[in-house]
């Protein structure tokens, strides 16, 4: 455990700079940039473990992103800086914009403001504008945000429509805003709408999403984690979902893939995955979003279980994460293969170290709770 703790912390600190947190120190496929989602998730883990270096870098990430907010409230997907720390590229997405960056930015910004309220004049107008952009993205004033294919963290995966994950990120952002400002917004109504639209009574797990003409009943691990972090589950839903999630476990461990079932070459959907691919195809069966096992997600799952008084289950996840990370020589790869648990993707990824590190701290050291 000592080696894991030291290497995870060093990996996180290496990604923290005076200008923000980068997704990876490796200059490959644009990973050495400030990515809103990665940076905020890493920063939130720094908040939990009370790490000042990580928190300072989160603040700089948030200030950089705020500075480059789009005219309608858009938050960049990522920002690239040159060797002189001058911004040379601001991306709001590739073929489509990244919708979830709005929520992640607000969540991160509120955590920054909680520690440094003197930044309110700089950040609160940006926060309000980002939340207003969410309203525009409802399009039909129906209360839920419509997400185009490629519009969230699963950018090379074939999910689109009214996606549960994105509604939950928005809900978390609204809750953070309400708790900081003490001003009621849309959070409670959104929570009620999520329960109505996404819980499948007959299937006993949360719907991935829906769009005109179809429902997406695939298992979305990130969405399920967020329902637990935000404590949306009733006692029965907790029992049902933890049973369902446990059935997705990989290779005799407690670790869970990002999505299931896996799309295979013989499936009609596979051509859609091929068409979604960016510069290179990553979604081979049991890889990347297509059934890959992400340390970042499993670390968050351990946190969510702990926050719901399931410490023993959290300890098992932490143990398995450390063992698999150790077996992969502490390289903190982006994800593990969904069958072999061999590390794959970009390495080291900051958030692959961040959430397991926070989980370890939660189980062994004094920590601070997230605002959610």
Mean pLDDT value across residues 139-163: 95
Other CB atoms within 10 Å distance of the CB of residue 200 = 12
Q: For the chain, what percent of residues have pLDDT higher than 70?
A: 100
334: left (phi over 0), alpha (psi -120 to 50) or beta: alpha
Q: What is the mean pLDDT of residues 294-306?
A: 98
The structural domains of the chain, ordered by start, are 2-364 (1.50.10.10)
Q: Is the peptide bond before 34 cis (omega within 30 degrees of 0)?
A: no
- Over range 257-285, report the average pLDDT: 93
Task: Give which of 110, 125, 114, 25 is closest to 62, Cα–Cα.
Answer: 110
pLDDT of residue 178: 98
Q: Which residue has the tokens 């969405």?
A: 223
pLDDT digits (tens, 9 = 90+) for 207-244: 999 999 999 999 999 999 999 999 999 999 999 999 99
What pLDDT, on the 0 to 100 scale, is given for residue 139? 87
- Classify the C-alpha dihedral 112-22-90-186 as positive or negative: negative
The yes-or-no verdict on residue 296 having pLDDT over 80 is yes
pTM: 0.97
Q: How would you write 193-231 as a 3-class SS string? A: HHHHHHEECCCCEECCEEECCEEECCEEHHHHHHHHHCC
pLDDT > 90? residue 280: no
Structure tokens at 226: 């967020």
For the cut 90, the answer to whether the pLDDT of residue 279 exceeds it is no
Please give the pLDDT value at position 1: 84
Give the span between the Cα atoms of 42 and 62, in whole angstroms: 12
Give me the chain's average pLDDT, please. Answer: 96
**Residue 292 predicted with pLDDT over 90:** yes
In sequence order, what are the beta bridge partners of 343?
336
pLDDT, tens digit, 9 for 90 and up, residues 43-100: 999 999 999 999 999 999 999 999 999 999 999 999 999 888 899 999 999 889 999 9
What pLDDT band is residue 338 in, cutting at 50, 70 and 90? Answer: very high
Q: What angle do CA 121, 43, 149 make, to 5 degrees?
A: 90
């Amino acid at each position: 455990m000592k080696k894991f703790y030291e290497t995870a912390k060093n990996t996180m600190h290496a990604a923290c700079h005076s200008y923000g947190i980068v997704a990876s120190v490796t200059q490959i496929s644009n990973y050495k940039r400030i990515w809103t989602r990665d940076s905020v998730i890493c920063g939130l883990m720094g908040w939990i473990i009370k790490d000042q270096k990580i928190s300072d870098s989160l603040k700089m990430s948030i200030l950089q992103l705020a500075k480059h907010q789009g005219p309608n409230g858009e938050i960049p997907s990522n920002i690239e800086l040159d060797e002189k720390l001058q911004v040379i590229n601001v991306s709001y997405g590739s073929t489509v914009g990244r919708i979830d960056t709005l929520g992640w930015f607000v969540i991160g910004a509120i955590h920054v403001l909680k520690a440094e309220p003197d930044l309110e004049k700089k950040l609160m107008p940006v926060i309000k504008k980002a939340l207003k952009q969410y309203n525009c993205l409802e399009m039909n004033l129906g209360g839920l945000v419509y997400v185009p294919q490629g519009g969230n963290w699963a950018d090379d995966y074939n999910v689109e429509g009214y996606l549960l994950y994105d509604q939950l990120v928005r809900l978390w952002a609204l809750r953070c805003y309400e708790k900081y400002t003490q001003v009621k917004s849309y959070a409670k109504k959104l929570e009620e709408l999520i329960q109505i639209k996404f819980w499948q009574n007959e299937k006993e797990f949360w719907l991935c999403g829906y769009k005109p003409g179809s429902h997406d009943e695939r298992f979305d691990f990130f969405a399920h984690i967020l329902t637990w972090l935000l404590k949306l589950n009733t006692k029965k839903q907790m029992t049902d979902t933890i049973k369902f999630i446990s059935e997705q476990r990989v290779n005799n461990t407690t670790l869970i893939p990002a999505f299931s079932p896996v799309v295979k070459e013989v499936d009609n959907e596979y051509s859609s995955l091929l068409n979604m691919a960016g510069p290179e195809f990553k979604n081979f069966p049991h890889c990347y979003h297509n059934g890959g096992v992400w340390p970042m997600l499993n670390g968050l799952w351990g946190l969510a279980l702990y926050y719901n008084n399931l410490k023993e289950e959290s300890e098992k996840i932490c143990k398995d994460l450390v063992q698999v990370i150790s077996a992969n020589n502490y390289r903190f790869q982006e994800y593990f293969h969904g069958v072999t648990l061999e590390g794959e993707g970009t390495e080291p990824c900051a958030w692959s170290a961040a959430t397991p590190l926070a989980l370890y701290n939660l189980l062994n050291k004094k920590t601070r709770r997230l605002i959610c």
